[in-house]
Structure 1
Amino acid sequence: MEAIIRPPSESSSFILLAMLGCSNNTCTFCPSYKQRKFAFRDIYDVIDELDKWYNNERRIFLADGDAVSIRQEDLVVLLQYIKDKYPQVERVSSYITPRTALNKSLAELKELRTLGLELVYLGVETGSDELLKDIKKGVTRKEMIEAGRKIKKSGIKLSVTVLLGLGGKEKSKEHAKATASILNEIQPDYIGALTLMVVKGTEFHDKVKSSEVHELENYEYLQELYWMIEGLELKSCIFRSNHASNYASVGGTLPEDKEMMLKQLKEILDNKERLKPEMFRGL
């Protein structure tokens, strides 16, 4: 069986496989769910696994790639069960696709929040309409903003990921500026910046191999991150680039740490020997 994917911040959480695969699973850069067919599990089988393996963890992460897409009635049963049986659980979280956020009503999302779904992770990736289409994200920029804002309005905390390098050398600055702009529109609670890793077998790899897209040099990803942070106008957000895929890590609370983060990036760009060696990067 394929490894279960979870965010770095869920490393100490109990990982509960609530469904299989990803409801979108078309993103050209993503190898994560290609061998696992999208399917829902019987919710009582999920509950049985929870009872069998749960070991008093304070947080529960609902895997796989889009657990919020589970039928509302089943999600309600699961979350209510966790709430009643394991009151020590402080947080339940999950991945969510933008299409699922659009398909769920605001009332449904609010119901999930009331039952304990405190945080969701949304892959925004880019703010460029052109690049969203190129990577087959399944939504437009306008729809992505609507999805993010709906999640925020429901009271569920929103953590978004953006992917450095998606535009290649050709569209690097466009990607950075458009992504800063969409983040300003959504105003997420958390942002995680990841760096593209071109994986053999993905459509993105084929584009790189055919020279349709040219990969950035290691320092150019940091320049892209600099442009992105430079354009951010956020009211209250924790920003991190500590994922294993990144060549360097910066982080802080925005807006107050913005200048500090930009200064750190400039120092790294001026001293490229500080970049993480390729062999230490990972998905």
Structure 2
Amino acid sequence: MAQSQKEARKSKAETYNGFEQGPIRPPSEARSLLIRVSRNCPWNRCTFCPVYKGSQFSLRSKDHVIEDIEAVHRYLERILPMLEKQDRITHQELQEAVRTVNPQDPVAYQAAINWINYGMESIFLQDANSLIIKPKDLIEILRHLRRRFPWTKRITSYARSHTIARISLEDLTAMAEAGLNRIHIGMESGSDKVLKRVKKGVDKATHVKAGRLVKDAGMELSEYVMPGLGGRDLSEDHALETADALNRINADFIRIRSLALPPNAPIYQEHQEGNFDLLTGVETAKELLLFLETLDGITSYLKSDHILNLFETLEGRYPRDKEKMTAQVKDFLVLPPDEQVLYQVGRRAGIFRGLEDMKDPGQLSQAQGVVNRLGANPENVDSIIYELMQRFV
């Protein structure tokens, strides 16, 4: 009896309940088909991250992931033949085609429709650390994706440095050969002091080892950096050590994701209790400038494409565009205090993306109106900005 109950529980645990999608993906993967390999985050202790708190990590079985791939493939098989031009599908053509399909799995059906709309060029493996599954299982999933969607240009995944550093170069290379061609790593910081304080579960040396392994395996590497994560006391160490780690790795992409304080992240409570000193906007700009100036000897492409960043238009390749990028931050730092307030409020209100937008009379007038309405000035702007940024976290 006990054995049969155990088998029943096992059977129930292995039941396929339909196509799954996780809660997040990188902004650069907004057009990707999302294939969920694992649920939530196996570490889930980072103090700055609110996403998976209270959620249990689990692996999905390889067979269930392949079922998801098959579900999307079945809908594509029914819809695509009805479309005359796969490279130039009109909205009307797509709507007429999908009306003929009776979706048995609405989530898979919608994923397929969205992917068709976006051109079916990329796939992202969810959730926070897909490479934690057995290499042979991931390789089989990757090969199945390539069999079913051979036209796909890119398959990508999040991964923790701690996980990658424990995978052999042979297995990583096999993953690359099976179709995995870009890894997103949340480095956040290269400072061991910062990493320890925010409970990242990794040190600088492991970040560097993992980054080099990804590159040696023949995959593209996208590293995420979080300005402000060191707080006021570790700001300089954060900037210098993070730049040094990236100089050693030479990632393909460096992506800026400025610190925010979501109320459900532990760092928010630390700030409320006076144990984390948040940088002002001007201090964040100074830290960013030090970071940008310290990056050296690399060919990485840096992007600041996120609403939380003070300079969303900051973008370029090292070393070619280094001076142009640092100049943008320097231009902000030499503005009179009232104009710094105007830019910061305009940026956080969604009016400005970069300093160039302040040259537009209409945008400038709109931003000034927000400043006047909020009563923003050099003394209170950071508390006002803090409230505005809570809309985005």
Counterpart AA for 1:34: K
CA distance in structure 1 between the partners assigned to 2:139 and 2:244 by the alignment: 35
> What residue is the counterpart of 2:63 in the other structure?
44
| Matched residue count | 283
> What residue is the counterpart of 1:274 in the other structure?
343
Contact 2:21 2:34 in 1 (8 A): no
Q: Identify which of structures 1 and 2 has the higher relative contact order when contacts are C-alpha pairs closer than 8 Å and 6+ apart.
A: 1
Higher strand share: 1
Q: How does 1:184-199 map to 2 (within 5 A)?
A: 184-199=247-262
Matched, 1:146 2:180: no
Tell me the secondary structure at the aligned position of residue 121 of structure 1: strand
Counterpart AA for 1:64: D
> What residue is the counterpart of 1:127 in the other structure?
190
Contact 1:2 1:36 in 2 (8 A): no
Q: What TM-score, normalized by structure 2, do the two folds share? A: 0.69
Deviations 1:4-61 (A, max 9, x none): 2111110111111111011221111111111331110012211222232344511000
Q: How does 1:161-172 map to 2 (within 5 A)?
A: 161-172=224-235
Tell me the secondary structure at the aligned position of residue 196 of structure 1: coil
Q: How does 1:19-168 map to 2 (within 5 A)?
A: 19-52=38-71, 53=108, 54=112, 55-56=115-116, 57-168=120-231
Q: CA deviation at 1:3?
A: 5.9
> What residue is the counterpart of 1:259 in the other structure?
323
Counterpart AA for 1:10: E
Q: CA deviation at 1:220?
A: 1.9
Tell me the secondary structure at the aligned position of residue 185 of structure 1: helix
Higher helix share: 2
Contact 1:31 1:199 in 2 (8 A): yes
Moved more, 180-189 or 205-214: 205-214
* Unaligned ranges ≥5, structure 1: none
Q: CA deviation at 1:169?
A: 1.3
Tell me the secondary structure at the aligned position of residue 195 of structure 1: coil
Larger radius of gyration: 2
CA distance in structure 2 between the partners assigned to 1:127 and 1:15 by the alignment: 29
Runs of 4+ deviating beyond 4 Å: none
* CA RMSD between the two structures: 1.7
Q: What TM-score, normalized by structure 1, do the two folds share? A: 0.95
Tell me the secondary structure at the aligned position of residue 284 of structure 2: helix
